Structure 1
Amino acid sequence: MVHTLILSTAIIILPSIGHCKLVLCLIENNKVDIDYFGVEIDNPADYMDEEMEAKIKNTTYINIHFEDEEIEYSKYSKEEILKLAKNLLVNLADIKISADDKDIDIYV
């Protein structure tokens, strides 16, 4: 089953390399919010309204997609979700990253 974790932070200009280190640093310094933790979203545009579109322009999103068994999302605390994110990012050998000028997509 594919799961998605979406973290956000104030908009930043992304470096050309070192995205995982950047995300780990943001998590460790409590600079991210958890926007979504659940099953993979088919088409995020289906869930957007004007307020969300305005936020998107001023926010950097870190989308982490990973496969695992079924997860009971509601049982995870904020700390447990961020710990899961850090654990996923440590195993660099199995990570694929794509990024544009402000957002990062990570596939584990």
Structure 2
Amino acid sequence: MQLYNVTWQFPEIEGQKAAYAKLIDYMASGAEADCFDGFELISRTHCPQTGSGVVICKARGTKELFKHFAPWRAMFGVEFDMQPAFSDEEVCECHKELFESMVG
């Protein structure tokens, strides 16, 4: 599965307040949508003072990302920026190959 760095932002305060009320219930019920076949949420952080935050997750592809994030966009207007990311091991492996290919 691919690692993703997802930043998120509320465009306005009313959506933020409604989403946090939903998040309280979501977390209390076990947060089942945080882990399903093809998707694993690793970390979710919040900066409520700016209406933003970061999710680190693994996903098989865009359909799994959509399944997890689309309800929050549809219900509360949350805006997401999803970027593929590398683990330490992956970035070292890729750069090692790059540097070796540049020697010549």
Structure 1 length normalisation: TM-score?
A: 0.32
- The structure that has the greater radius of gyration is 2
Q: Structure 1 or 2: larger helix share?
A: 2
